[in-house]
Each structure stands twice: as C-alpha cells, then as structure tokens.
Amino acid sequence: MMMTSTLRALLLLPLFLGASGGGGAGVNFRFASYIGDHMVLQKEPAGAVVWGYGEVGGIVMVTLHQAQETIMKKIAYVKEQSETWIMILDPVKPGGPYNMTAEQVIGKERYSQTVYDVLFGDVWLCSGQSNMEMSVSQQRIEKILSSSFYHTPGQSYEIFNASEEEAKAFAYPFIRILTVALVKAEEELEDLTSIDLPWSLPTPKNLGHGNFTYYSAVCWLFGRYLYDTLKYPIGLVSSSWGGTPIEAWSSWRSLQACGVPKEEKQITFPSLYAGPTDHSILWNSMIHPLLNMTLKGVVWYQGENNANYNTDLYNCTFPALIEDWRQAFHNGSQGQTQRLFPFGFVQLSTTMSKEEDYGFPRVRWHQTADLGYVPNVRMPNTFMAVAMDLCDRDSPFGSIHPRDKQTVAYRLHLGARAVAYGEKMLPFQGPLPEKIEILADKELLKLEYHQKIQVQKQDDKIYEISCCNNHQCKWIPVPMGNSSSQTLALKIDSCYGTVTALRYAWTTWPCEYKQCPIYNPSSALPAPPFIIVIPS
C-alpha cells in the first residue's frame, strides 16, 4: 500500500534532520533527496547511480534485494569534503520490485535506510516552461488577469480528455512519477532542496493535483505511450517552471559559449505565468542536483519566453544546452548516462497576438539549429514534435497553452521510438522539400518532398516567396497549385523580379487545429516550417 505524501514526509523527517537507523545525533546518514520508495532506476545496459550522505571516513554498503534473495552488494567511501558517497550498481534487467538498503557502521552504532518497491526501467527527465508544467487536470484559475485571453473565473478546465486520462492512471503501476519543487539558487546545488511529488504511482490525484503543479501532462502522456510500446517500467522526473527563458536553464558554460550578454532584459509575460529569468538560476537548483542520476533521455518543451528575448541567439543557446546537459549528466553519472543521450523537444505551438511578429516562427526555426529538421549535424540523436497545428484559441489559460497534450506527447513518443529505441522504419517527422525547381516558362515553383504528402487543403498564404527587384526584396504569399504524391507546384507569377527564397508556415498562427495544408498521409504528421534560399 502506498503511503500518503504527508505520512511519508513525517516518517522521513528524522533522516533529513540528520538522524537515522540506530540513533546517534549529529550523524547525517541518508540517501540523496530523490532516492525513495516507488522509484525507478535506470535498467541495463547502464548501471544505476545511487548516492547519499554519511559519516566521513566510513564505508557505506548498499544491498539490493528481492524477497529474501540478495541480488548484489556494493560499497563506497564517504568523501571528506562533501560528506557524500556514490556508487554504480551492476546493470539490472527491467522489472522489480526490489528493496534497496544503505548502511554504515560507526563504532557500535549502525545506521541504515531502506527504500522499498524499487523498479528498474528507463528514466526520462522532462523539463521546460509552462507547457511542460501544465498538469493533466488543471482544476481552476484562482486569479484571472483582465485580458481577453482568459475566461470567467471559477470555471474548471482541463487538457482534452483529462477525466479519461485520470481513469487510466491505475492501469499503469509500472510508471512512476516525481516532480521537482520550484526552487531558485544563485550557485550550483549538489542536491534538491525540495520535492513537490516524491516518487509515486500514478493516481488521479497525482496527475491532476492543481494548476501548473503536478503532474506534467506532456511528461505523463509521453511516458504512457512509451510504456504501451515497451511494456517495462518507466520513470518520469518532471523539473519545469512556467514563464522561464532558456537562459535560466543553461549553465554559465553554455551561455558563455554562445556569447549571451550578461545584461538581462525584463520579460513581459502575464504575471500569472511569470517565472525567474536570471541566467542559470534554475540550472543551479533544478537540474544540477540531478546530474548523478542515470538517465535514458530528456524531453523538453520551452521557447515561448525566448520569442522576444535573445531570440536569434536561440540557434546557439538551444544546441549548446543540449550539448552541455549531455556532458554534465554523463560526467555526473560517472559515464553511465550515454554521452549523446536522446533529447526530444516540442517545437513551439501557437499564440494569439494583436500584431503579427515573427518571434514564434524564428524560435521554431532556431530550435532546429536553422536546418528545419532533426536529428542534424549540430543536434545529433534528437527528435522533435511539431505542434504549430495544435492551436487552441479557447484555452482558458491563454492560447499560448493549448490543451491538446495527447497529440504533442504522441508525436514526441514516435520520435523517441525511432531515435532512442531504434525503430528504423517508423515515421517520426513530417514531409520536407528535398528539391526546388523554378519552371520559369510556366511561372511555377515546383517542390519535391522527401516523403509522400497529402494536401489536406489549399492555402494561398502559407507559402511565401522572397521577390527581389532592384536590390529590394519583400515576402509575398503565393497560391498552391497542382500536386502529386510527392510534389507540389506553387504559382509565382505575382513576382515580377527574382525569386530568392521560399518559406512555409512562417507565422505565429499558421493554420487552425490540425488544418495545415501538408501532412504525411500515413503518419498524419504535419510538414514542419522552413525557410530555404533559392540559388540564382
């Protein structure tokens, strides 16, 4: 039977105060903050890293046991400076449950702590801002800003099909969830100072605790879709904070590598969703403490707050964050987390704005390191869920927070299956042009796509060409013409000069819900936005 979070907190209180096992005030012996009952540790071929605190100079023994059988024993020395110990377990096949006991003998005193119901599987970290933080069942808005974005206070709002998702929770006892608390720090922390939801089994209450708390809808749904395919334990760690720019989640190293200016500009987002913006302030407190954890991969949903802040640095700051996190988790886990672990992300969705600006389309493009697709040479072993066709003008939390998280997570999990789990024939991205030809005599521009396309609707504005005359260029929309299974013609007779570039879906709100023009007919994945220079 799972303990309530309140009871569990009371039982663990002596451990966090520094007493444990056989008594002896002043001895700080315990596991690290996020190692607890019901957790998932990373399965083979990696070794799971476990660590904690102990008395300097002593030896800590960790025993993994199942029923009455001892599976393994490992020892580690307590480091003098940090008073911590760390060890790598032997690789374990997926499954469980196991119990894990750490113990240290100091003189005549024996100190021990046991965590129960431990599973081995794949551990995924979910991070980003409010669209990752948004919970399965957003209960109600306590404070409504005086804005047309928001509906009447006191109403109850949810992601699509939230009640159905909550009802399914009990069918997934081998998915375990944890939520890191919202904490800021000016310096890198070794351990988490607070946890909102300790490792738990999914329940309706845990999935819909409250607005932008726990549990992350995208993270949960991503894990659920993965479990439906893999059929072995999945551990999900959510560490997100709404209204935050990428700079808050980046280490000083990656920001320095991109030449991010130290001067910080105030970000003007609705105060209900505003989060900390200082450089590295969440890296320090909500990511750095997790570095010892052995991970399978990361999924990320962030970028809205960079649509008007260091926007054109994002093509450096995002790839740099991925590279830096990979190196840091690899080092922190003593090489157990893969050096190029899989990193998935959601390309920005949409938002309603009174004036057209190009912050969102620029961030979408920069999220791919200006190549339009992933994985690529600058972003190896990555995968992306396109979300620009999942608009939600009626979302009570603002159109910037669309409620269809199922489709987002489903598209993400396709990328994970293809990139992280090696399903070679699985489509996980929509069509992109691989060849462009101008048919001057027919006043047409012909696109040849790298996969089959389905023209779902005609759109006279979503494709634009850069038309240049006398060294002056402007973007003009061009109508769609005839199409085949992999080609599309665009009518360019409105340009009386030279066509120098083509772009697609280069707007904040490219289409209505699942109504963009181009999809893959079998996977139903949308064509991503792009901008292409046309050689003269």
CATH number of the domain at 135, please: 3.40.50.1110
Is 426 within the bounds of a domain?
Answer: no
Question: Do β-strands 84-88 and 175-180 pair in parallel, antiparallel, or remain unpaired?
Answer: unpaired
**260 found inside a domain:** yes
Q: Are residues 493 and 385 in the same domain?
A: no
Domain enclosing residue 359, as ranges: 120-420
Q: Looking at the structure, tell me whether residues 456 and 514 fall in a common domain.
A: yes
Does 318 have pLDDT greater than 90? yes
Does 200 reside within a domain? yes
Among 357, 391, 420, identify where a domain stops.
420
**Structural domain total, the chain:** 2
The percentage of residues in the chain with a pLDDT greater than 70, rounded to a whole number, is 87
DSSP assignment letter at 150: S
pLDDT per position as a tens digit, 52-77: 999 998 899 999 999 989 999 999 99
> Are residues 319 and 276 part of one domain?
yes
Average pLDDT over residues 449-470: 96
Mean residue pLDDT of the chain comes to 89
Phi and psi at residue 142, to the nearest 5°:
-80, -35
pLDDT, position 353: 78
Q: How far apart are CA 442 and CA 177, in angstroms?
A: 58
Q: Which of 238, 240, 161 is nearest to 410 (CA)?
A: 161
In this structure, the answer to whether residues 323 and 407 fall within a common structural domain is: yes
Asked if residue 299 and residue 176 are part of one domain, the reply reads yes
Does 388 share its domain with 504?
no
The model's pLDDT over 482-534, given as tens digits with 9 standing for 90+, comes to 999 999 999 999 999 999 999 999 999 999 999 999 999 999 999 999 999 99
The pLDDT value recorded for residue 209 is: 67
Predicted local confidence at residue 166, as pLDDT: 80
pLDDT at 64: 98
For residues 238 and 335, membership in a common domain is answered with: yes
Q: Is the pLDDT reported for residue 210 higher than 80? A: no
Which of 388, 420, 452 is the last residue before a domain boundary? 420
Average of pLDDT values for 8-29? 44
* Cis before 261? omega within 30: no
Which two three-digit tokens encode residue 309? 């802040």
d(CA 201, CA 228): 16
Question: Do 414 and 445 have their domain in common?
Answer: no
Q: What is the 3-state secondary structure (H, E, C) of 507-521?
A: CCCCCCCCCCCEECC
- Tell whether 414 is covered by a domain: yes
Is residue 160 domain-shared with residue 191, that is, in the same domain?
A: yes
Residues 236 and 262 in one domain: yes
Cα 28–chain centre separation? 34
| 128 within domain boundaries | yes
Same domain, 449 and 398: no
